Amino acid sequence: MGDEGTLATVLLAMFAGAIRVSTPFLFVSLGECLTEKAGRINLGLEGTLVFGAMTGYALSLHTGSPWLGVLAAGLVGCVFGAIHGYLCKLPKVNDIAIGIALMLFGTGAAFFFGKPYIQPQAARLPSIPLGGWSDNPAVQQALEINPLFIIGFFLAVAMWWAFRNTRWGLVVRTTGDSTPAAVALGIDVDRVRLLATTVGGFFAGVGGSFLSLSYPGSWSEGLSSGQGLMAVALVIFARWNPLACFGAAILFGAAGALGPALQSVGISEGYHFFNAAPYILTLAILVVAVSPKRALRGAPSELSITK
Amino acid sequence: MTDFKLNRRAFLKTAAAGAAGAGALGLPTMASAAGLTIGIVYVGPRDDFGWNQAHAEAAKVLKGVPDVTVVEEENVPETVAVAKSMESMINLDDAKMIFATSFGYYKPFVLDLAGKYGDVQFRHAAPLWTDEDPKNAGSYFGYLDQAHYVDGVAAGLSTTSNRLGFVAAKPIGTVLRNINSFLLGAKKVNPDAEVQVIFTGEWSLPVREAEATNALVNANCDVITCHVDSPKVVIETAEARGVKTCGHNASQAPLAPKGFITGAEYKWSTIYTQYAADLAAGKTLPNFIGAGFDKDFVQNTPYGAGASAEAIAAADAARAEVKAGKPIFTGPILKQDGSVLVGAGASLDNYDPMLDRTDFLIEGVIGSIT
C-alpha cells in the first residue's frame, strides 16, 4: 500500500466515521441547542440518551419495528425533558443541579430496566445504500447512510431557518435572551421553556435510539461513553447555531474514527493519543475561540452560566 | 455512620481472631458452619456475552452445589468501590470466600482486604499472586491463549486474504499472549497468515469497537476476532460486513448465524466448584491454580456455520495436541523487533512463566503496543 493509498484509506475512514458516529452527537446537540436557546441548560440529556437507547431497543425487540423503537425513545425523552422543564420552573431551582440529577437517574433507570435486553437481538434500523456506484466495498460501506442521519441534517437546517424566520423561533430566542422583554411581549416564559426542554428531550431520546438500533446497534451498559455530555459541550462550541451543531457533530465523528483508522493502515504508535483526538480537538478549538475581551458570542443571555 | 459500623465490626472480628489465636488460615471452622457463602464481584453486567457472563455462568453452577450460597454484585468499578463491595459481602453476608473477577481489583484492593480479614479467602482471576502476597489471597486463571490458538488454526484455514483482524482492549500480558497464540495457530496451517491488531484502549467501548471492526474489514481482513470484555458489538458488526468471526470469553455463536467459526471460552465452573469442594472438605486452597485444556479450564465454542470441514478437522487435531502438552510456541519465532523469542528447533512450554509476562508481539502481527 503506497502513501497515497494509505492517506486515502484514512480519509475515507474518517469520512465514513463522521457519518456513522455523528448522529447521536447531532441529535443531542440539537436538543440542547433548542433548550438553551430558550434559556435553560439541560445537562440531563446524557441520561435521556441512555434511557432512549434502552427504550428504543426494548420496543424494537417486542414489536419487531425499529421505527416504533425510535418513536418510543423520543417519547420517553419527552418525559425526561418535561420533568426537567417542570422542576426548573419552580422557584429557586437550579437547572444544572436538576440536570445532573436527571442524568444519573436516567442512566441508572436505563441500567435497571435494561437488564433483560442486553442478550437478545432486536431488529435494527435499515440503512440506505448510496454507494452502489462504487466497486470499492469500503466506499459502499461508508455510504450506507442511516435515515436518521439525513433526518438530523434536515432538522438542523429547519431549526436554523426557524430560529431566524418564524414567530416561534422569535419567541424562543426572546425567552432565552431576556425574560423581562418576553414577559412584556406577553409570552408565557415558563411554558416556552417547558416545551423547549420537552422537545429537546425528544431529540436526545431519538439520538439514543440511534446508538442501540443502528450503530453500534445493540444495547449494553457501556453504550454511551459520554456522547450526551460531549454533545452539550458541542452546543457551546457551535455557538448555539444548529447548522454549526451539524458541522461540530461531523467533526467529532471524524475525529473519533481517526484512532482505529490509523491503526488499520499500520500507523499504530501512540494510538492512545489518536483515540483522544476528539477531546484534544475540543480543547484546541475552545482555546482558539475564547477571548477575554468579550462574552461568548451567540450565548442566550438568560442562561444561568452566562448571567 | 456506615463507616463507623464497619470499623467496629472489623475491630471486633480482629479482636476475636486475636483472642482465639487463630492464624491466617481459619478454614476448617467455617466449613463446619451452616454452609459456605461465596461472594463474587463483577466489573460489568453478568449477561454481557463476554468475560462477566463466563464468570456468571460458572456462578450458576456453583449455586447448585449443596450448602453453598452465592452473593453477587455486578458493575463494580476497579476503584475503592470494589473494596467496599467486598467488605460488605464479608461483614453483612458473612462471605468466607471472595472471587474478584476483574484484573484491576487485585492491587491494592484484594491485597489490602486480605491483610485485614485473615479468615476470608480471596481469589482473583488473573495470574498476579506472588509469594510475597498474603497467604489467604491467591489467583486462578484459565490459559485462554490455548483456545485462541485453536481459533487461529480454524481461522487460518478460513481466510482467503491471509489477513486476520484482532480487536484488542489493552496491551496487557494476557491480551498480547492471546494475539500471539492466535497468529501461531493460523501460521501452523497457513504460513502466509498475518494478524492485524487494533487496540481500543478500554475494556468496553462499543462505538470504538465497531469502528475498529469496520477499519479491519476495510483493511482487507476477512476473519475477525477480539479480546474485549463484551464481544457482542465486534461479532455483530463483522457479521453485518459479511466476514467470518471467532468469539472470545463466552459463546457468541447466536450473534453470527452465517460467519461464526468457533470461539475461545473460559470454563470457570471447573475452578469454582473445585474451590467449593476443597473448602467443604476442609482442605487448604492452593494459592495459584492455572491450566488450559489439560484440566478443562478453557474450551472452544461449538463450531458455527462459518467453519469448513477442513477447519474443523484441523482445529480438533490442534486442540488434542495442546491438551496432550504439545507446545504452542515452537521455534523459530521472532519478536516484532526482530529479536529471537524461540530459536529454531526449540520451544516454550505452554505454562512457561516467561509467557505470563508477555510484553511483546511476535513477527507477523501488525500493530504496536504503545
Spatial separation of the C-alpha atoms in residues B71 and A88, rounded to whole Å: 41
List chain B residues with CB under 8 Å of A216.
206-207, 209-210, 233, 236-237
In terms of Cα–Cα distance, which of A199, A221, A200, A202 is closest to A212?
A221
Whether A178 and chain B come into contact, CB under 8 Å, resolves to no
Distances (CA, A) of A248 to A111, A129, A244, A254, A291: 29, 24, 6, 10, 20
Chain A residue with minimum CA distance to B201: A272
DSSP secondary structure letters along A199-246:
HHHHHHHHHHHHHHHTSS-S--TTS-TTHHHHHHHHHHHTTT-HHHHH
User: What is the span of the domain harbouring residue A44?
Assistant: 3-289
Q: Over 80: is that where the pLDDT of B202 sits?
A: yes
User: B100: part of which helix (H) or strand (E)?
Assistant: strand B97-100
ω into residue B332 within 30 of 0, thus cis? yes
Whether B161 and chain A come into contact, CB under 8 Å, resolves to no
Predicted local distance difference test score (pLDDT) of residue B180: 95
Q: Over 80: is that where the pLDDT of A3 sits?
A: no
Predicted local distance difference test score (pLDDT) of residue B1: 39
For residue B251, give the C-alpha cell: 459463546
A9·B236 Cβ contact <8 A:
no
Q: Is A165 exposed, middle or buried (0-12, 13-18, 19+ CB in 10 A)?
A: exposed
Whether A270 and chain B come into contact, CB under 8 Å, resolves to yes
Spatial separation of the C-alpha atoms in residues B263 and B252, rounded to whole Å: 8
Among A25-39, B18-32, B61-75, the range of highest mean pLDDT: A25-39
Per CATH, B2-137 and B145-264+301-366 having the same topology is answered: yes
Q: Are B41 and B76 in contact (CB under 8 A)?
A: yes
Q: Over 50: is that where the pLDDT of B26 sits?
A: no
B236·A21 Cβ contact <8 A:
no
- Shortest alpha-carbon distance between residue A118 and chain B (Å): 7
Q: Over 70: is that where the pLDDT of A210 sits?
A: yes
The percentage of residues in chain B with a pLDDT greater than 90, rounded to a whole number, is: 59
Predicted confidence band of residue A33 (pLDDT cuts 50, 70, 90):
very high
Distances (CA, A) of A295 to A42, A177, A235, A306: 21, 14, 15, 8
Nearest to B211 among A12, A260, A265 (CB): A260
* pLDDT tens-digit readout, A167-194: 999 999 999 999 999 999 999 999 999 9
Q: Are B204 and B168 in contact (CB under 8 A)?
A: no
Whether B366 and chain A come into contact, CB under 8 Å, resolves to yes
Q: Are B59 and B272 in contact (CB under 8 A)?
A: yes
Distances (CA, A) of B233 to A116, A203, B206, B245, B362: 17, 24, 6, 12, 27
Angle at B77 between CA B74 and CA B78, to 5 degrees: 125
Predicted confidence band of residue A82 (pLDDT cuts 50, 70, 90):
very high
List chain B residues with CB under 8 Å of A215.
207, 210
Q: What is the mean pLDDT of chain A?
A: 89
Q: Are A22 and A250 in contact (CB under 8 A)?
A: yes
Whether A215 and chain B come into contact, CB under 8 Å, resolves to yes
Distances (CA, A) of A199 to A31, A204, A248, A252, A270: 7, 9, 21, 24, 42
Q: Are B299 and B316 in contact (CB under 8 A)?
A: no
Q: Are B236 and A218 in contact (CB under 8 A)?
A: yes
List chain B residues with CB under 8 Å of A260.
198, 200, 208, 211-212, 214-215
A298: left (phi > 0), else alpha (psi -120 to 50), else beta? left
User: Between residues A139 and B17, which one has the greater pLDDT?
Assistant: A139
Q: What phi and psi, each to the nearest 5 degrees, are found at residue B171?
A: -80, 60
Total of domains in chain A: 1
- Shortest alpha-carbon distance between residue B11 and chain A (Å): 34
Predicted local distance difference test score (pLDDT) of residue B7: 53
Whether B198 and chain A come into contact, CB under 8 Å, resolves to yes
Q: Over 70: is that where the pLDDT of B229 sits?
A: yes
Predicted local distance difference test score (pLDDT) of residue A11: 87
User: A259: part of which helix (H) or strand (E)?
Assistant: helix A242-264
User: Between residues A239 and A212, which one has the greater pLDDT?
Assistant: A212
Whether B78 and chain A come into contact, CB under 8 Å, resolves to no
* pLDDT tens-digit readout, B268-289: 989 988 888 888 788 888 888 8
B75·A111 Cβ contact <8 A:
yes
Q: Over 60: is that where the pLDDT of B14 sits?
A: no
DSSP structural state of residue A126 = P
User: Between residues B26 and B8, which one has the greater pLDDT?
Assistant: B8
In terms of Cα–Cα distance, which of B52, B143, B47 is closest to B100?
B52
Q: A265 forms bridges with which residues in the sheet?
A: none
Whether A134 and chain B come into contact, CB under 8 Å, resolves to no
In terms of Cα–Cα distance, which of B143, B207, B199, B198 is closest to B170?
B199
- Shortest alpha-carbon distance between residue B26 and chain A (Å): 38
Q: Over 90: is that where the pLDDT of A275 sits?
A: no
The percentage of residues in chain A with a pLDDT greater than 70, rounded to a whole number, is: 95
Residues in chain A: 307
Q: Mention every residue, 6+ apart, whose C-beta is less than 8 A from residue A68.
A: A59, A60
Chain B residue with minimum CA distance to A141: B241
A217·B233 Cβ contact <8 A:
yes
Per-domain residue ranges for chain B? 2-137, 145-264+301-366
- Shortest alpha-carbon distance between residue B111 and chain A (Å): 28
Q: Over 60: is that where the pLDDT of B225 sits?
A: yes
Q: What is the mean pLDDT of chain B?
A: 87
Q: What phi and psi, each to the nearest 5 degrees, are found at residue B266?
A: -80, 160
Predicted local distance difference test score (pLDDT) of residue A296: 64
Predicted local distance difference test score (pLDDT) of residue B16: 52
The reply to whether A15 falls in a domain is yes
Is B145-264+301-366 a CATH 3.40.50.300 domain? Answer: no
The reply to whether A302 falls in a domain is no
**Tell me, which fold does domain B2-137 have in CATH?**
Rossmann fold (3.40.50)
List chain B residues with CB under 8 Å of A253.
none
- Find the CATH number of the domain harbouring A139: 1.10.3470
Q: B280 forms bridges with which residues in the sheet?
A: none
Mutate to test the interface with B, among A112, A139, A146, A218 (most CBs of B within 10 A): A218
User: B70: part of which helix (H) or strand (E)?
Assistant: strand B68-73
Torsion over CA: A216, B202, A250, A244 (sign): positive
What value does the mean pLDDT take over residues B188-214? 92
User: Between residues A134 and B182, which one has the greater pLDDT?
Assistant: B182
Place of cell 455523528: A22
Whether B368 and chain A come into contact, CB under 8 Å, resolves to yes
- Shortest alpha-carbon distance between residue A153 and chain B (Å): 21
Mutate to test the interface with A, among B202, B214, B229 (most CBs of A within 10 A): B214
DSSP structural state of residue B67 = T
List chain A residues with CB under 8 Å of B370.
269-270
* pLDDT tens-digit readout, B34-66: 588 999 999 988 888 888 999 998 999 888 888
Nearest to B218 among A217, A264, A275 (CB): A264
Q: Mention every residue, 6+ apart, whose C-beta is less than 8 A from residue B173.
A: B356, B357, B358, B359
- Shortest alpha-carbon distance between residue B198 and chain A (Å): 6
Predicted local distance difference test score (pLDDT) of residue B5: 46
Angle at A61 between CA A58 and CA A62, to 5 degrees: 90
Angle at B237 between CA B257 and CA A208, to 5 degrees: 120
| Cβ count near B74 (within 10 Å) | 21
Strand locations in B200-343 (E)? 223-227, 244-249, 260-266, 288-291, 298-300, 329-330, 333-334, 340-342
B206·A223 Cβ contact <8 A:
yes
A vs B: CB pairs below 8 A: 123
Distance of alpha carbon B151 from its chain centroid, rounded? 16
A222·B49 Cβ contact <8 A:
no
The reply to whether A304 falls in a domain is no
B49·A119 Cβ contact <8 A:
yes
Q: Are A63 and A73 in contact (CB under 8 A)?
A: no
Chain A residue with minimum CA distance to B203: A222
Nearest to A270 among B240, B254, B370 (CB): B370
B232·A137 Cβ contact <8 A:
no
Q: Over 70: is that where the pLDDT of B18 sits?
A: no
* pLDDT tens-digit readout, B320-330: 999 999 999 99
Predicted local distance difference test score (pLDDT) of residue B12: 52
